Amino acid sequence: MKELHLHQFDKKHGSYLMHTPIDAPVASRNERQLQEVRKALINVIDDEHSLSRLDNTWSRLGGRSVTGSSLDEVQRAGTIYLLRLTRQADFMKMRIKSGIPEDYAFHVDKNGELWAVEEKVSRGATPDVDSTEINVFFRRVSITPHAKAAIPGIVDDLKLLANLAGQAGGAITSNGRISIDQWLQFHGLPQPGTKEDTQQLIDVLNFANLPASPPLENYWQLLDTPEDSPFRLTETTRSIIDQQTRQLKDDAPFLIKQIGAWLIRENVGSEMLPTSIEYRMQRLLEIARQSCNQGQNYLIALGWFGEGNGEKASQQFIDQLLIAAMLLDLDPEIDSTNTSFAGFDFYAKRFLQQKPGVVRLELEKHLANHFQLHQMLAPLMAQWILAGMAPQFLIRDLPPELQVGTPGWVVFSQAVHLVEAVAPGTSRLMSYEHLLGFSLVPGLMPQLASLHTTNNLDPVVTWALMNELVERDADGSLSQKTVLRAVQEYDRYVTALTRAVSDVNTPIPSRRAIALKELTSKIPRCNPNELLVKHRGNGGGAGRKVSVLDLYMGDELHTTDWGRIRGKDIYREFTGLKDLYPANDLYEEAIHAHYNGITTALSTNIRYALSQLHQSDRSFIEHGRLAIYQIKKDIPKNIVSTLKPFISALNPIAGLYPLPEPKADPGRYGVILCAVKGPLIRCYELFPLRLDCRFNQVFKNRFSYHLISDPVGGTFVDSKLLLDAPIDFEAYVKNITPRGDKNASVVLTKIGEFGTSAHDTTASNPVQYFNSRRIEDVSNLIAEHNPYINKEELSQIGFDQTDRELAIEKTDKVFNVILNLIIPFKECIEELSSGVPSRQKGAIAGCVMEAALIAISLVAAPLKIVAGVTKGATLVTKLLSASRIAARTVIGLFNPLGGVPQLLKGGGKLIGRSLAKLSVQSAPHFARKQLLRLTGTSSYDLLKAVNHSGAASELRMTLDAVGHGRAIFKNDSIETAEHVLKHLYDNDKKLLQHIPEQELQHLMEISLAEIALKSDSAREIRKVLDSKVVDTLTRRHAQTFYLDNLHQFKDVTVLPEVLQDTLRVEYKNLVAMQAHQQELLTKNLGKAPYHGVLDESRFNPHGLTDNTDRATAWILNASNSENETNAIRTLLLEYAASNKPLTDPAIYNELHRRVAPNAIDKYRSPRPDVRYPSNISGTAMLEGHMAKLDPAHEHFGKHLFGSFLGYHAFSDGNGRTARAIYAITELRKGRFNALDRPTENALSGLN
C-alpha cells in the first residue's frame, strides 16, 4: 500500500491534478501534510463557533490531501475504487433520483456507511502562497439504504471500502479529501477536547519532526549493545580487543596518542586544518583506519564477519569498532550505564548549579591531565565519551540560565534521553527549543510514552544525588527504596513549583462572569440580558433600561424596585431573584482566594531565589539575625500630568476630575535583607519576580551601620533615609535587571525581623534549604508585606463596572487605583492608550500576570519555546508535570520479572539506563515508525546500524507461526495462526518486553500470511497462479503492515480480512488480464483498434530517417538526454542484429535492466484502482504467457508489447521495456511503425 499514487481529483475537469511533485521524498510529503493539518488547527483556534463544538468539529473539518503522504498512500486505492463506483450507470441513476447535486463528494466510513457530502471551503486567516484553501467543512447525509436498493453488488463494494477505510483512519473519500479526525486516527493521536488541547497538539506537530541521524549516530553501537547481541562486549571480547590494541599502539601509552600523533603533526605548519570538532573526528577516524589495517586485526581476532558467512563489515561498523577500542584503552570498564569515565564523575556534587559547558571543559581537562592527551585530542575524546554516556552536555547554545542539578536541567536531560532512545546521536543536531518541544510529543503518542517514562528516571535520580537528598549504598549501588525516595523528593519539589505557576496562571476572577454563572445556575430560565426599568425607590434611574445581570452586579436586583415595562412581574415568575447570594460577596470571596494563591506563588519564588544563593550566603539568612526592609521613594510631582493623557484615553470621564498627587509607593519588585551572624553583617537585594537574590558588597560597606549600629548587640532600625545609596531604584519599581552603576536616595522601612536560629543547617543543599521552615517563614512574610499587586488592585482589574455603576459612582477612587497600577507596569502604556477597552483591560491583567510568570517559568524552561502557541505558563506546567515519575513505575522497572537484576549491583550506575538495557525493547522501533508516518522524520538506516539480533531470536524466527508464538508467549495451547495473532493483539507488554521489535513484526507477518493462505481468496488465486507464487505474494504483502495496523481495528480478524481482500483484488485483475491477453492472440492486430500509427511529427520533430533513430526517438519521446539517447540506440542496434529470443526471461530481464537502469526493484502491491497485477504475479504470468507466443507471427511485436505492458512485471520501466521490445521486432523486419496511444491502450488492456 506504500507504492500507490493518487493525484488530487479536479471535479470540474474529471481528472487528477498533481499538488506535490511525485518524485518528492515521502518524508517531505508527510511533512507538508502535517503542516496542512496544523494550519487547519490554527484556524480552529481563531473560530469561537468551532471551539464551542470541538467534538463535532474534527469529523466535519477537512483539508487537502498531500499526494504521496503516508495517509494518501493508504487511502489512494480506495479513493479511485470509490470514484469508479460513483461513475457506474446504476450509481449515477441513484444519485439523480435522490437529488444529490453533481458537485457533492462521497465518503465511505469504516462501518461501511456511504455518505453524500457537501463541501464548504473557508479561507484561512493567515494566507499562504502554497495553499489557496485552508479549511473545508463537510456536511454529510447517509445514502446507504438508497444505494443498497438501487445498485446490485454494492454490499461487497462497501465491505471492501470499509476495510480500506479502517486502515486510512476511518474514511475513504471520492475526491481524496481528508478530515482532521481521520488524520488523527490514522496517526494514533487523540482528538483535542479543549482549546488548550488543540494548542498543545499544534505545538506537538511543530516539534515532532527529528533531523536525520548523524552517520555514526552516537558512536556507541558496539559499546552499548543489548544483552543478547552477538557483538556484546563481554569480558572475553574486551580482553581480545585489549590484546590487539597493545600490539597496535607500539610504545605509545594509549592508542589515541599513537593515532592522534598524526593528526597533531598535520596541524603544524602554515596550512592549518579546519578547527571544527566534526572535521577533526572524521580525520582522526581516517587515520585510525589506515593505522589499524581497517580494523581487520580486531575483526579476525574476535571472529566477527568471517569468510564463511559471506558478510562484510561496513565502514561505519569499523569506525564504531575503532572508537570502542580507543575508549576501552582509556577506561576498560567503560559502560553507558556508568556515571563516570576513568575516574571523572559527570554528576559530582561540585557541578551542582554549574553551567553544562563547565562539566564538558572539566572532562577535557581531566583527559588532558590524567592521560597526558594533547589539547587537540582531549575534546575529540570528550565528544565520543559524552555522546554515549551523558549526551545532554553536548548540546550547544543553551540558555545562560540553565544550571546543572535544577528542575530545568532535569526536564532538558529527559528530553535529550528521549530523543537518543528514538534516534541515537540526533539530539546534538537539535536546538534547545526543539528538544523541549519534542519532549511534549509522548503526551499524545502512546508509542513514545513508555519510552519517555523509562528515560525520565535517570535525570531525576542524579538530581536527587547531586542535591544530597539520597545516597548510594556502600558499594555504590541504588536500592529500590533509595530510588523511590529520590522520586518522591523530586515530586515534592516540582509540585511546589507547578502549583506556583498554576496559581499565577489562573485567570483573575471576573465579577461579571461570576455573577452570570450564579444567576444562570440558580435561575436557569431567567434571561440575564433582559432589560428592566425602575418602578419605585430612590437613587435615580427612572426611565433607564438596565439588564437583570447588571442589576444583580450592582446589588439592586434584590430590592424589587425594578420590573418589566409590560407583562408578568419578573419577581413572581422567578421568585428566587431577590434571594440570590450577593454577586459582590461572591466576587470578594473569589478575589480573596485568588490573592492567596498568587501570594503563595510569590513566596515560592522567594524560596527558590534564596535557595540559589552561595552556601555561605544561605547560612547567613538561615541562622543569623535577619531584617527585611521595604524600599520607598517619592514620586515626582509632575507624574500626574505625564500620565493624565493615558488616563483620559482609558476613560474620557476621568479627564473631567482632578487627580490627587500620589503618595510615595513602595518598590513592589524587591526588598533588602540584612543578616547578622556573629560580628559579621551582610546585605542582599532580593527581586522575587526575577528569581534573583544578590549580595551587595558596596551597600554593606557604606550603609549597613545605618541599619544596625552594633552587629553583636545592636538592634535593626525601623526606618531610615539613605542618601545616594548604591542601588538601582528602577529595578524595584519596574522589575528590570538591576544596574550596578546606579545610586538613589531612598527610605528603608522594616517590614519584618527574625532572630538567630539554632536548628540544623540545610544551607549546603539548595532543595532542603527551599523546604526549610525558616526560609518558608521569611518568604511568606515578604510575599505578604511586599506584594507586587495588592488585593484592592486585583479586585479592580476584574471588577467589570457596569454602565449604571459608572453613572452613579465617583470615578476618583477607580482611577486612583488604575494610576497606581500604571506606575509599576509602564510597559502596558501602549495598550492602555490604544483606546480599545478590551485591550486596555487585558493589558493590565496581562502585564501583571506575565511579570509574575516569567521568573518561575525559568525554573523549568530557561528560554521561551518559539514557534509555539501554548501559553508559557501552561507549557511550563506540562514540562514539569511530565518530568515527574509515579512510584508504581519505579517498582515496575525494578521488578520486571520479580527481582532486582544483578546488573544493578555495585558501582555508580545510571539506574534507568541499566534497567532498560536488561530488555530488548520494541518501543524505539515503533516510535520511529510512527514519527516517520506522522512527520516524515528520516527513517532509521538499518544499513548503517549494527544488527544486534541474538541467536535465540534468530532461531525462533525460523519456526512457523504456531511454533514461534508458543515460544514467545510460553503457551502450548496456541494451535493456530489466529491464536498467535490474538495474543499479539492483546499486547502483553510484560511478556513481550524482552522480544526484539523485528521479531514481533516478523511473527505478525507470518501469522497474517498463514491465515490468508488458508482462505477462499488464496484458493481462488491458485487457479491462475502457481502455489509457490501465491505463497511469495501473500508473505510479501503481509510485510506491508505494521504492528500498529493490527490495533487500528476493534477486532483482531479485520487485518487478515484486509489481506484476503487484497488477494481477491489480485485474482480479479489476473483473471481480467489473462482473458484480455488470450483474446489478443485471436484478434487480427492489423485492424482497428490495433493498427493505429503515431503521427511522425509527434515523436520525430527533427525528421530522422533512419529506423533505429526513429525508434529511439519514439521510446524516449523527444528526450533531451543525449547520453540516454545513445544508450537506447546502441541497445536497439545490438538486439536487432542478434537472434536473442525475446521471450526468454533472462533476455528480457537483461534488456529491462539496460533500458531502464534507474528503475528501483521494489514490491508493487495489488490495487483495486488499476487493471494490472502486482509485480510478483505479473512476473509469473508474463513468463507463462511468453510460451504461448509465436515469434514467426506477423504481429509478434504487438503481442509482446501488450504482454509486457499489461502484466506489468517490473516495479518500474514497464512502458519503456515494452516499447523497446516492440521496436526490436520491427527493426528485425527492416521497418518501424510507431504505435499511437489508443493502440497501446488497446493492446495492453489497461484502459
The one-letter amino acid code at 119 reads E
Domain boundary among 611, 639, 672: 611
Q: Residue 746: beta bridge partners?
A: 722
> d(Cα 912, Cα 457) in Å, to the nearest integer?
5
Same domain for 1139 and 1091: yes
Please check whether residue 438 lies inside any domain of the structure: no
Please check whether residue 595 lies inside any domain of the structure: yes
> d(Cα 1058, Cα 1062) in Å, to the nearest integer?
6
Same domain for 294 and 187: no
Cα 54–60–62 angle (5° rounding)?
Answer: 110
> d(Cα 467, Cα 352) in Å, to the nearest integer?
7
CA nearest to 126, candidates 869, 845, 825, 1133: 869
Same domain for 47 and 181: yes
Same domain for 994 and 964: yes
Give the total number of structural domains in the chain: 6
Please check whether residue 3 lies inside any domain of the structure: no
> d(Cα 1067, Cα 1025) in Å, to the nearest integer?
9
pLDDT digits (tens, 9 = 90+) for 742-754: 999 999 999 999 9
- Dihedral sign (CA 236, 239, 244, 247): negative
Predicted confidence at residue 1145, as pLDDT, reads 93
Predicted confidence at residue 926, as pLDDT, reads 61
Predicted confidence at residue 1198, as pLDDT, reads 96
> d(Cα 863, Cα 856) in Å, to the nearest integer?
12
List alpha helices for 859-976, DSSP H.
872-883, 887-894, 911-917, 923-935, 951-956, 961-969
Same domain for 26 and 92: yes
In this structure, what C-alpha cell is assigned to residue 679? 560580628
Predicted confidence at residue 903, as pLDDT, reads 41
Please check whether residue 964 lies inside any domain of the structure: yes
Domain boundary among 318, 333, 348: 333
* Helix, strand, coil percentages for the chain (3-state, nearest 5): 55, 10, 35
Burial of 186 (0-12, 13-18, 19+ CB in 10 A): buried
Same domain for 784 and 667: yes
Same domain for 1222 and 1125: yes
Q: Which domain holds residue 514?
A: 506-611
- Contact residues for 906 (Cβ-Cβ < 8 A; gap 6+): 475, 476, 477
Please check whether residue 415 lies inside any domain of the structure: no
Same domain for 241 and 143: no
Same domain for 164 and 64: yes
Same domain for 144 and 230: no
Q: Residue 534: beta bridge partners?
A: 562
Residue 458 near residue 913, CB atoms below 8 Å: yes
In this structure, what C-alpha cell is assigned to residue 572? 413572581
User: Hey, how many other C-beta atoms are within 10 angstroms of the C-beta on 654?
Assistant: 19
Same domain for 1031 and 1141: no
Predicted confidence at residue 865, as pLDDT, reads 45
Predicted confidence at residue 691, as pLDDT, reads 87
Please check whether residue 903 lies inside any domain of the structure: no
Please check whether residue 101 lies inside any domain of the structure: yes
Please check whether residue 1145 lies inside any domain of the structure: yes
The model's pTM: 0.74
Cell 569506525 belongs to which residue? 319
DSSP, collapsed to helix, strand or coil, labels residue 520 as helix
Predicted confidence at residue 902, as pLDDT, reads 45
In this structure, what C-alpha cell is assigned to residue 455? 528515560
Residue 457 near residue 897, CB atoms below 8 Å: no
Helix axes 70-86, 923-935, angle to 10 degrees: 60
Q: Give the chain's residues under pLDDT 70.
A: 1-27, 52-55, 122-134, 269-274, 306-311, 447, 537-543, 634-664, 807-874, 888-908, 911, 915-930, 932-933, 935-951, 989-991, 993-994, 1118-1123
DSSP 760: P
> d(Cα 58, Cα 47) in Å, to the nearest integer?
13
Domain boundary among 788, 805, 823: 788
> d(Cα 518, Cα 1099) in Å, to the nearest integer?
81
- Contact residues for 101 (Cβ-Cβ < 8 A; gap 6+): 118
Predicted confidence at residue 958, as pLDDT, reads 83
Same domain for 766 and 624: yes
Predicted confidence at residue 552, as pLDDT, reads 95
List alpha helices for 126-194, DSSP H.
144-150, 154-167, 180-186
> d(Cα 223, Cα 327) in Å, to the nearest integer?
9
